[in-house]
Chains A and B, each alone.
Chain A
Amino acid sequence: MLRRPPRPGPVVVSATPARRPSSRLLGIATGAVLIAAALAGCAPPERAGNSGGGTLRIAAATDPGESLNPYASNQSPTQQLRSALLYEGLTRLDHTGRREWRLATDMTANADFSEWTIKLRPGVKFTDGSDFTSADVVASIKYLRDPAHAVQGLAFIEKIDPKAVEAVDGLTVRVGLSEPFAPFKEIWANVLLPMTKAGSVPEKPIGTGPFSVKDFAAGRQSKLERFDGYWGDKPQLGGVDIIEFPSQQAQANALLSNQVDIASGATPTIAKSFAGKNGIALLDSKGDFTLRIGLNTTVAPFDDLRVRQALRLLIDREQVVSNAFGGYARVANDHEGGTPQCVAPDIPQRKQDIEQAKRLLAEAGQSDLSFSVTTDGLLPGMQELAQVFSENAAKAGVKVAVNVVTVPELLSKWGQWPVFIDFNPIPYLPTVIGGLLPGRVGNATHWDNPAFVGLADQLFLAPEHEQCAIMNQMHKIEHEQGTTITPAFVNVLMPHRSNVRGLVPDVNGRPLSFLTNVTVES
């Protein structure tokens, strides 16, 4: 039998003796003071401030595999962001998308565009104080073209014959090509093709950019300081800290609690929720950045044009813009953009047409089509796009499952996924070279269209004033026979604290490459 003992109650405590000063308390207090003193002794050393202009603190995505080598393979947006501040190319695209000369001042071709002469800018210094010369350009191009280096920008300069690259004089370089290539000037405006000091890559790359490296810890933080010997307009900022966070939510939290000044990655949902909150403003870069659904032509039935066109007719582009991208996008028409210098192609806008889609599927014998769309969800809106597409397709009886995989898994079967979500942040010419011609690694749909290839060949030989017309014809073929569903051009969103002034939106989605006039008010 269990006996329930009497509960201890207030009676016991009512006999508490009166308090008296405790020597134990004194001991604890002394200990606390000693610990505080010890901690104070371990305080961080005083940090030297920047040379004026303030420091811009940028939140970026963690990249533990990053390095300072601007030619490294598989570069993340974080590494490219840093590279854009440390290194420069021969040309670059300004924030409106127009090409401008940087380390080069001119490029001229021979009659058949098979050899180019590059004139370099005089008076340019590397961040170590040495002069920038033609020898550095030759060394940089040869490094890029060396097959031993898995450089990411190789596809763009593969027509360069490395044996035919030579310095003519201190500020002139002659570049021979393996075959004629007219748009040579256009390819250099790429963060993957910077010029570095000869012999400095890969161990300690030295560039000519407006900032130099003060501290670097891979996957953690980069501290950059202004390079006062910079040849161009010097930035007003004294330094830039790129602080890496494992999630976009963490970036948002850091921004809201004033630990960073700008979040370089924000989902539309986060951006919307920030509007007018805690002194946060939104930098909204409208451009031709595309998220697209790729249809692999080596996998049936996506080799059938009728099926591809039917799937393009199923998607509700307005819904994609509003639901997947929170309104921070504009409707696209199943072709790439990236040609701001050209008048837009005259192609009727494709709209959702369920009945027509059903007819095309029936003609192709695919009325009960069922497949998975694979995404790694790397960028904001990817999973949402897959979900909207799945719901749209269901209206025609097409069953689309959303398959979310890890980034490594997506990469491991690159080119094998039947239907997948991809993205394209670069202008049209490099897109053609790297992702729309047959046999290119970026062409994971294995599209091989003779008419498109023929036009590309024409483009590579056409003088500058003919290039827009050819590119618009290429857009038309993409629209009519292409292998991607491209429903929207997506804005790049960067919430920032309102005391950051001078930021400019960029049509190519890299506004943090343009920090010349940026200041951080205290």
Chain B
Amino acid sequence: MSQLTTRMRIRHRGSPPGPKNATIPWLVRRLLVGVLVLFLVSVLLFLVTQALPGDVARIILGKDATAEQVAGLRQQLGLDQPLLGQYWHWLSGVLSGQMGTSLENGEPVGDIVGPRMFNSFTLGFMSLVLILPLAVIVGVFSAYKRDSALDKAFVAVSSLFTALPAFVVGMLLIAFFATSVLGVLPGVSNIPPGDLPWWHPAELVLPVTTLTLMGVMYLGRLVRASFIDAMNSEYVQTAILKGLGSRRILFRHALPNAVAASLPAASLVAAVTITGVVVVEYVYSYPGLGTAVVSAVNSHDLPVMQACILILATAYYLFNLLADVFAALGRSR
């Protein structure tokens, strides 16, 4: 009985409760929960930054500034206000479309974060465009060649890549393709200010490859497992016994079901890819949200940090929501 209740709860949390007219309210509820989650993220981030050692005003002015100068800057930045007041000042600014200015250099946060967001999303999007078809191709091929040397090699290599952190993969690729062995690609991916990322295709190759490898190795395994399940299913066995052509069985019956089963995972991979750019950007010095976050944390630049992390958190939440939607659709099938 209790198990049934739990299942029902999961069903109503993660998927539309049955008829189509209930889907919209469910989605609205999930979006409202998302707003609440982002609000909590911003509160948590604010509190964490308050706990970080070091005074922003002292960091900006340096050790040579007098105590009076530091106090003056604290007042100017509103850092002498109570915590709640500081937070409300920031939140009301965001709600009215004002992201504030960077504590470090006084530039509007939008001017700093906007181009970097574009760069990060370009990197993430290009990687996803490669990850999704490649994962399907590799997964299906590996499943089709199940237990062959190629399949075993894929399983071994994908396990390795899943275990390796992204920065290790990045550094290995840099050493092999850029600095130590082949020397055919740039070792860093610096996109000059004002340029669009695709004006520098060579600089994009290694970071996109890193994200793609990580994504394909993970998602490809899931596709492989789903495809094996699909090929083992009764409807495929029936189709074989009916004498249908192998291409028809593969592409009409097995593949759609295998891909559908992998879609929630693909959405999660997308979420991980978008947020995973933080590490990859740092390794390649790619000017995106990731490097902005690292820099903002180092300098306690709260407005820039809040903006970057909220953007990443929003992307992560939306892709998770998409995963839930796909999962729900899968269950309804």
Contact = CB atoms under 8 A, between A and B. Distances in A.
Interface in A251-268: 252-254, 256-257, 259
Interface stretch (A225-233, A341-349, A386-394, A404-412): A404-412
A423 interface: no
Interface stretch (B21-29, B51-59, B218-226): B51-59
Given A64-B104, A221-B193, A411 B187 contact: no
Interface string A39-78: 1001110000000000000000010111100000111000
Given A246-B285, A441-B63, A411 B199 contact: no
A364 interface: no
Nearest to A441: B64
B53 A406 contact: yes
Interface in B279-309: 282, 284-285, 287, 291, 294-296, 298-301
A219 interface: yes
B64 A218 contact: no
A364 to B, nearest CB: 30
B183 A12 contact: no
Contacts of B52: 408
A254 B192 CA distance: 14
Interface stretch (A13-21, A86-94, A293-301, A459-467): A13-21
Interface stretch (B5-13, B240-248, B262-270, B323-331): B240-248
A261 to B, nearest CB: 14
Nearest to B147: A7
Interface stretch (B35-43, B93-101, B208-216, B230-238): B230-238
Contact of B104 (A8, A43, A65): A65
Given A17-B247, A221-B193, A257-B185, A150 B66 contact: yes
A412 B53 contact: yes
Contact of B179 (A15, A247, A256): A256
Contacts of B64: 73-74, 150, 152, 154-155, 441-442
Contact of B58 (A8, A66, A252, A412): A412
Contacts of B54: 406, 408-409, 411-412
A217 interface: yes
B298 to A, nearest CB: 7
A218 B105 contact: yes
B84 to A, nearest CB: 23
Contacts of B178: 253, 256-257
B14 to A, nearest CB: 28
Contacts of A17: 245, 247
Nearest to B102: A64
Contacts of A218: 104-105, 107
B190 interface: yes
B198 interface: yes
B221 to A, nearest CB: 18
Contact of B299 (A64, A67, A243, A246): A64
Closest 10 CB pairs of A and B: A74-B62, A408-B54, A253-B187, A257-B187, A217-B193, A65-B104, A409-B53, A256-B179, A412-B54, A8-B231
Given A219-B105, A257-B187, 16 more contacts: A7-B231, A8-B146, A152-B62, A215-B193, A221-B193, A250-B284, A252-B179, A254-B186, A256-B178, A256-B183, A257-B188, A406-B54, A407-B298, A408-B54, A414-B63, A441-B65
26 contacts: A5-B234, A7-B231, A8-B232, A8-B236, A12-B250, A16-B246, A42-B198, A44-B199, A64-B104, A64-B295, A64-B299, A73-B65, A150-B65, A152-B62, A218-B105, A221-B192, A247-B282, A254-B187, A254-B285, A256-B180, A257-B178, A278-B183, A408-B53, A408-B58, A441-B63, A441-B64
